[in-house]
Amino acid sequence: MQDFIWVGFVGAILALLFAFVQKGKVLKFSEGNETMQKIAASIRAGANAYLKQQYSSVAKVFAVVFIVLLIMAFATNGEMLSKFTPFAFLTGGIWSMLAGFIGMRIATKANARTAQAASESLNQGLRVAFSSGSVMGFTVVGLGMLDISIWFHLLYYVFGITDATTLGNIMVMNGMGASFMALFARVGGGIYTKAADVGADLVGKVEAGIPEDDPRNPATIADNVGDNVGDVAGMGADLYESYVGSILASFALSAAAGFGFAGMLLPMLLAVCGILCSIIGSFFVRTKEDASQKSLLKSLRTGTYLAALLSAALAAPLTYYTVGSWGVYISILCGLIGGCAIGYFTEYYTSDTYKPTQKLAASSETGSATVIIGGLSLGMKSTMASILIVSAAVIISFFAAGGNSSYSMGLYGIGISAVGMLSTLGITLATDAYGPVADNAGGIAEMSGLPEEVRERTDALDSLGNTTAATGKGFAIGSASLTALALLVSYVNIVESKGVDMNLALTNPAVLIGLFIGAMLTFVFSAFTMSAVQTAAQSRVGEVRRQFKEIKGIMEGKAEPDYAACVGLCTKGALHEMVAPALLAIIVPIVTGLVLGAEGVVGLLGGVSVTGFAMAVFMSNAGGAWDNAKKYIEAGHHGGKGSDCHKAAVVGDTVGDPFKDTSGPSLNILIKLCSTVSIVFSGLIISFNLMGLL
């Protein structure tokens, strides 16, 4: 079977080619008038400057970790750590970075073009934005396939590692680099975008009373830069990690399940088939020139659902051909259906066409405190659907894949269901990544004074983006929890393969305390990321206030604010605040292991997976609902824009910003980073730990 894994290269080339074609489509459009070009150039410059600085900060941390890994691997002659891992760590990081970077490049080129195209028609606007999203979506999956294929062939053919178990165990460690990079990108970008947003809103909208994206607001360019570095580059790195992580986790589980290389070929085939179906699906994303917002959503949905359905159909013969089990096929379906179901419930809880968000909007009648309480309880309540769906997916895919007779086969079922969930990532990510482009286009339309109707069209595109983003987050969170479970088991397999006997019972104090530490890590990590936004935003508020006061004539539009100062301040703030939470995620599992041993680490992974999942759903959904409740009021309910209700809702939205765009989405990565860090450092922890001394 291993001879067929070259199919991964086919998938990679297909995806990258399609991305290239889409890029060409975007660039064919005009960037609009001079003002628009100038604004777009400022945003581009700000985003590039930020990413450049971010990468150079991250490079330092990567260098340190790389050296530590090198020492661990070579000083013990591969005993403590495979000699490949340090290099895989680097490549994983670089590809993940690249996935985000390319997505950001095209997004900063597509924003003004989308605004210009939207001045022709809604459909034209949609096409530019969606093409830009496609570039990112297909780049992510293409690079992911490439990374996995190259490493597989290197290890198998060049280094002659032909034992499936060994190969799987080495491959799964490759995830750490991608997770680590993703965490920096998500946290750093998330802090940047939300600090900019909160800062701009607090002084601009609330204090000075000028509209969003008003060129008089010094923070407005930084706000638009933030959309690109956070929602595009951060998300790209994040989903690259999810995609690669789910495939690698099933690699590691395949040998134990007795599927050998066939069980590794299957996720590759699923991914390639998903790429094909996504390409087909994306041809169906089109609408009439005079389309309504409703028909826009319909066209996006047609594309994604078509891709998912085609994938589901094609997966049947592929599964049967490779592992010869219909049960495994059911596991894959569980993933696909589970992802869609989580997406649906995410939409239910966060879209203003449903009751929960409407009720939240109504709670603004009694002030901002009740909006906050309402949003928090909505978010907490919404964990029920996601957790029940994931639980059902876990239990069904476990037993369907044969968990009753062979425990390892059941676990492979859980791992492959995550791959199923993410197989059509190409198109779901495209529909997701188009949102920030539309958001930017709106900003440019506003700043360059395009006619009202253009802004209305970009708003329609943007608001649609919120809905698709919710679905995308559903997939990311759902797959993260499944992958985390698969990684937890890989960890146990790897430790036990080194001859360590573990008591993993929940009644073992080391496991229990590990659980506690895992829950603690989730809460403290969320606290760090939230207070990072807070700190960064507060310094921003000061700067914006200073400019309003010191630069005469800003409010009359006579003098230009110092946009660059705000961009620079955001960059500095985000980079400064990004490091602590990221280090937390790498240090806590190692220290826990050194104190409590491998059993404690398993507890920690369980605790962080479970609490992190619940917390991620809670934060993302609460944030999304606050955002849409505000939009619902702005659409004319409960007094509309400028009313007291609106002001109360703005408070909710501001609190929701770090929830849904910084802390919430970072938790997915945290969960997986903890797992891969534990796997990579398992050799160290087995050799040295306090429990071993007792």
370 touches a second copy (CB under 8 A)? yes
CA distance 631 to 646: 9
607 touches a second copy (CB under 8 A)? yes
CA distance 354 to 357: 6
CA distances from 42 to 169, 223, 506, 567 (A): 46, 12, 55, 10
610 touches a second copy (CB under 8 A)? yes
CA distance 543 to 198: 13
User: 649-688: which residues touch a second copy (CB under 8 A)?
Assistant: 650-651, 654-655, 658
Nearer to a second copy, 317 or 692 (CB): 692
**Which x/- pattern over 6-45 shows residues binding a second copy (rule: CB under 8 A)?**
----------------------------------------
579 touches a second copy (CB under 8 A)? no
Sequence-distant (6+) residues with CB within 8 A of 321 are: none
Question: Closest approach of Cβ 209 to a second copy, in Å?
Answer: 14
| CA end-to-end span of the chain | 47
Q: How many positions of this chain bind a second copy (CB under 8 A)?
A: 81
CA distance 626 to 604: 32
The token pair that represents 319 in the structure block:
């599964």
From the CB of residue 324, how many other CB atoms can be counted at a distance below 10 Å? 10
Instruction: Provide the 3-class DSSP secondary structure of residue 504.
Output: coil
CA distance 126 to 115: 10
With CB under 8 A as the contact rule, which of the stretches 39-47, 213-221, 521-529, 675-683 interacts with a second copy?
521-529
369 touches a second copy (CB under 8 A)? yes
Question: Closest approach of Cβ 419 to a second copy, in Å?
Answer: 18
Question: Closest approach of Cβ 147 to a second copy, in Å?
Answer: 28
47 touches a second copy (CB under 8 A)? no
Q: Read off φ and ψ for residue 592, nearest 5 degrees.
A: -55, -45
Q: Are 511 and 549 in contact (CB under 8 A)?
A: no
Which helix (H) or strand (E) segment holds residue 454: the answer is helix 452-497
202 touches a second copy (CB under 8 A)? yes
Question: Closest approach of Cβ 204 to a second copy, in Å?
Answer: 13
404 touches a second copy (CB under 8 A)? yes
517 touches a second copy (CB under 8 A)? yes
Question: Closest approach of Cβ 276 to a second copy, in Å?
Answer: 32
Query: Helices 122-153 and 235-254: crossing angle, nearest 10°?
Result: 40
Position among 301, 381, 572, 576 found at the interface with a second copy (CB under 8 A): 381
433 touches a second copy (CB under 8 A)? no
Instruction: Please report where in the chains the tokens 């690109």 appear, as a residue.
Output: 228
Instruction: Provide the 3-class DSSP secondary structure of residue 370.
Output: helix
Question: Closest approach of Cβ 151 to a second copy, in Å?
Answer: 27
Position among 77, 499, 501, 507 found at the interface with a second copy (CB under 8 A): 507
497 touches a second copy (CB under 8 A)? no
537 touches a second copy (CB under 8 A)? yes
256 touches a second copy (CB under 8 A)? no
Position among 97, 140, 485, 667 found at the interface with a second copy (CB under 8 A): 485
User: 208-227: which residues touch a second copy (CB under 8 A)?
Assistant: none
Position among 526, 547, 675, 689 found at the interface with a second copy (CB under 8 A): 526
Closest CA to 598 of 450, 492, 521: 492
Question: Closest approach of Cβ 357 to a second copy, in Å?
Answer: 14
Q: Are 435 and 465 in contact (CB under 8 A)?
A: yes
Position among 14, 107, 489, 578 found at the interface with a second copy (CB under 8 A): 489
CA distance 421 to 334: 8
252 touches a second copy (CB under 8 A)? no
Nearer to a second copy, 228 or 397 (CB): 397
Q: Is the dihedral of CA 497, 499, 505, 506 positive or negative?
A: negative
Question: Closest approach of Cβ 671 to a second copy, in Å?
Answer: 13
Nearer to a second copy, 77 or 507 (CB): 507
Q: Are 343 and 475 in contact (CB under 8 A)?
A: yes
User: 108-127: which residues touch a second copy (CB under 8 A)?
Assistant: none
Nearer to a second copy, 141 or 513 (CB): 513
Nearer to a second copy, 131 or 325 (CB): 325
CA distance 542 to 155: 54
505 touches a second copy (CB under 8 A)? yes
Q: Is the dihedral of CA 516, 619, 241, 231 positive or negative?
A: negative
394 touches a second copy (CB under 8 A)? yes
Question: Closest approach of Cβ 661 to a second copy, in Å?
Answer: 13
Nearer to a second copy, 237 or 651 (CB): 651
Q: Return the beta strands (E) in 31-168 as ranges.
A: none
373 touches a second copy (CB under 8 A)? yes
With CB under 8 A as the contact rule, which of the stretches 7-15, 63-71, 392-400, 444-452 interacts with a second copy?
392-400
Sequence-distant (6+) residues with CB within 8 A of 643 are: 633
523 touches a second copy (CB under 8 A)? yes
Nearer to a second copy, 59 or 591 (CB): 591
With CB under 8 A as the contact rule, which of the stretches 266-274, 333-341, 438-446, 534-542 interacts with a second copy?
534-542
Instruction: Provide the 3-class DSSP secondary structure of residue 215.
Output: coil
270 touches a second copy (CB under 8 A)? no
Residue 642 CB-density burial (10 A; 0-12 exposed, 13-18 middle, 19+ buried): exposed
Sort residue 503 into left (φ over 0), alpha (ψ -120 to 50) or beta. Answer: beta
